[in-house]
């Protein structure tokens, strides 16, 4: 079946459908990871986005039951250069195309993804529409331009869990190379806000000795503290952080009450809760090879990233310590506020998919909880 991608600036990319029929509108972004397409597809942070893979061959290893980061694919649509219907992996249980069809995800292959990526890098992330309906380009372009932009959208309530649940499963048998292996006892209780939480984050917390209670995005601070946590975690998630005003207010009310660790959207929410500002990046950071410098030591980490907004470091109050800087564009990647026992990073230290350079941050979180207990 023929398909087409139309961008809001009028650029057209023809191709072939390999997912569900229909049409989907979203923000077009590109991901530079060579592997991990199933984790990317199921990452709730991609809600509302049409994800382009820069790696040319997608689908080679099929899909399996361990890699999903949530219960279903979360992307609005999927764009690839070459889709492989034939797959080979000892873990595979089916084809990528069938998974996309089962969940109604529109996907397009045979796209010149190199040209598309260069265009997005130059013009910035923009709205797009993938369609298999055969409608005119003019009609599709009008629909695309009528759709809301990412700025101002609160998508956390689209992807958050409907009710609290408990998690105590670690990363075995795919555990990172921890010096002493995963924790044998679950010493700490962490309450994790689900703004689009990835399962690998939960596994890493358990690896570091935490039993986790996951709560919906709108859970009140009083309800969180009533669970008597040793620490509080603010997760990744989609959309504009400034639109999630309830989450900012909740985090502000919890500052100083327990150790707090934030990742991705959680990092942005922490910046807003401290009185800072966020802004939209031209085309975001989406990939598994982004270099970040850890300022206290000068060590460079290769990181997994997926975000379209960033925190303005000049807007943060006195007392905040900048800890991580992106070496590609010098944007802020992490900060801490020791007085309030909180810290956050913009990238994904759980690495699902990606390198394990930043796994130490989970150890910093447990060390902070241990110090809190002793205070």
What is the residue-wise DSSP string for 241-293?
Answer: GGG-HHHHHHHHHHTTTS-EEEETHHHHHHHHHTT--EEEEEEEEEEEEEEEE
Q: Which residue has the tokens 């040209």?
A: 115
Is a pLDDT exceeding 90 seen at residue 7?
A: yes
Closest by CA position to 293, among listed 340, 347, 341: 347
Return the biggest CA–CA distance within the chain: 67
Q: Domain limits of the chain? A: 3-146, 156-374
Q: What are the residue numbers of the active site?
A: 264, 348, 350
pLDDT value at position 184? 87
The pLDDT confidence band at residue 114, using thresholds 50, 70 and 90, is very high
Task: Report residue 301 CA to chain centroid gap.
Answer: 18
The pLDDT confidence band at residue 173, using thresholds 50, 70 and 90, is confident
pLDDT value at position 86? 95
Return the number of other C-beta atoms located less than 10 Å from residue 122's C-beta.
9
DSSP state of 2: E
What percent of the chain shows pLDDT beyond 90?
A: 95
Is a pLDDT exceeding 90 seen at residue 322?
A: yes
DSSP element (H, E) containing 121:
helix 113-123
Q: 346: annotated binding-site residue? A: no
Can you read off the two tokens belonging to residue 327?
A: 């070496």
- What sign for the dihedral angle of Cα 115, 121, 124, 127? positive
Can you read off the two tokens belonging to residue 115?
A: 């040209």
R_g over Cα of the chain? 20
What does pLDDT average to over the chain? 97
Is a pLDDT exceeding 90 seen at residue 155?
A: yes
What pTM, to 2 d.p., does this model score? Answer: 0.96
| Averaged pLDDT, 216-238 | 98
Task: Report residue 354 CA to chain centroid gap.
Answer: 12
Is a pLDDT exceeding 80 seen at residue 235?
A: yes
Strand 2-7, strand 126-131: pairing: antiparallel
Q: 308: annotated binding-site residue? A: yes
Choose between 355 and 107: higher pLDDT: 107
Can you read off the two tokens belonging to residue 182?
A: 């995963």
Task: Report residue 296 CA to chain centroid gap.
Answer: 25
Task: Report residue 71 CA to chain centroid gap.
Answer: 15
Q: 309: annotated binding-site residue? A: yes
pLDDT value at position 352? 87
Q: Could you report how far apart the first and last alpha carbons of the chain are, in Å?
A: 64
Cβ–Cβ under 8 Å, residues 126 and 96:
no
The pLDDT confidence band at residue 321, using thresholds 50, 70 and 90, is very high
- What CA–CA distances, in Å, run from 302 to 18, 36, 54, 282, 285? 32, 16, 18, 21, 13
Torsion of CA 292, 197, 105, 40, to 10 degrees: 30
pLDDT value at position 178? 83
Cβ–Cβ under 8 Å, residues 234 and 343:
no
Q: Which residue has the tokens 């959680």?
A: 266
Q: Which CATH architecture best describes the domain 156-374?
A: 3-Layer(aba) Sandwich (3.40)
The half-sphere exposure of 205 on its side-chain side, counting CA atoms within 13 A, is 30
| Averaged pLDDT, 149-175 | 94
pLDDT value at position 203? 96
Q: In whole angstroms, what is the distance from residue 58 CA to residue 218 CA? A: 37
Is a pLDDT exceeding 80 seen at residue 179?
A: no
| Averaged pLDDT, 9-38 | 97
| Averaged pLDDT, 147-169 | 97
Two domains, one topology: 3-146 and 156-374: no
pLDDT value at position 87? 97
Is a pLDDT exceeding 90 seen at residue 176?
A: no
Closest by CA position to 39, among listed 28, 51, 22, 27: 51
pLDDT value at position 369? 98
Is a pLDDT exceeding 90 seen at residue 27?
A: yes
Whether CATH 3.50.30.20 fits 3-146: yes
pLDDT value at position 132? 98
Q: 306: annotated binding-site residue? A: yes
- What CA–CA distances, in Å, run from 145 to 8, 12, 154? 6, 14, 19
Q: Give me the phi and psi of 264, to 5 degrees please.
A: 60, -110
Q: 268: annotated binding-site residue? A: yes
- Counting every residue, how long is the chain? 375
Can you read off the two tokens belonging to residue 221?
A: 């601070």
What is the residue-wise DSSP string for 309-362?
Answer: EEE-GGGSPTT-EEEEEETTT--EEEEEEGGGTEEEESSBTT-TTS--TTTHHH
pLDDT tens, position by position, 269-294: 999 999 999 999 999 999 999 999 99
Can you read off the two tokens belonging to residue 353?
A: 């998919």
Q: 202: annotated binding-site residue? A: no
Is a pLDDT exceeding 80 seen at residue 13?
A: yes
């Amino acid at each position: 079946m023929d398909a087409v991608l139309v961008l809001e600036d009028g650029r057209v990319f023809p191709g072939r459908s390999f997912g569900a029929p229909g049409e989907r509108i979203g923000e077009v972004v590109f991901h530079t990871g060579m592997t991990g397409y199933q984790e990317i597809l199921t990452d709730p942070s991609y809600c509302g986005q049409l994800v382009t893979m820069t790696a040319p061959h997608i689908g080679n290893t099929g899909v399996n039951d361990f890699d999903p980061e949530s219960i279903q694919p979360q992307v609005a649509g999927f764009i690839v250069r070459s889709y492989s219907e034939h797959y080979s992996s000892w873990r595979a249980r089916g084809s990528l195309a069938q998974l996309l069809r089962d969940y109604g995800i529109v996907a397009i292959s045979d796209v010149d993804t190199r040209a598309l990526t260069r265009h997005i890098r130059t013009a910035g992330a923009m709205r797009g529409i993938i369609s298999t309906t055969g409608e005119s380009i003019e009609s599709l372009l009008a629909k695309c331009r009528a759709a809301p932009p990412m700025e101002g959208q609160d998508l956390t309530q689209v992807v958050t869990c409907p009710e609290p649940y408990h998690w105590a499963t670690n990363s075995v048998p795919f555990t990172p190379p921890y010096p002493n292996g995963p924790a044998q006892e679950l010493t700490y209780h962490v309450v994790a806000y689900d703004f689009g939480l990835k399962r690998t984050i939960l596994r890493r917390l358990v690896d570091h000795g935490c039993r986790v209670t996951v709560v919906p995005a709108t859970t009140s601070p009083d309800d969180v503290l009533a669970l008597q946590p040793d620490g509080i975690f603010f997760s990744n998630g989609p959309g504009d952080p400034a639109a999630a005003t309830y989450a900012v207010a909740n985090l502000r009310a919890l500052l100083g009450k327990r150790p707090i660790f934030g990742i991705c959207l959680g990092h942005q929410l922490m910046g807003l809760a401290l009185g800072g500002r966020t802004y939209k990046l031209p085309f975001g950071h989406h990939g598994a090879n982004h270099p970040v410098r850890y300022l206290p030591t000068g060590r460079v980490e290769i990181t997994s990233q997926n975000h379209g907004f960033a925190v303005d470091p000049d807007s943060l109050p006195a007392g905040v310590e900048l800890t991580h800087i992106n070496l590609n564009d010098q944007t802020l990647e992490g900060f801490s506020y020791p007085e309030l026992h909180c810290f956050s990073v913009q990238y994904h230290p759980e690495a699902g998919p990606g390198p394990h350079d930043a796994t130490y941050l989970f150890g910093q979180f447990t060390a902070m909880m241990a110090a809190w207990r002793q205070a």
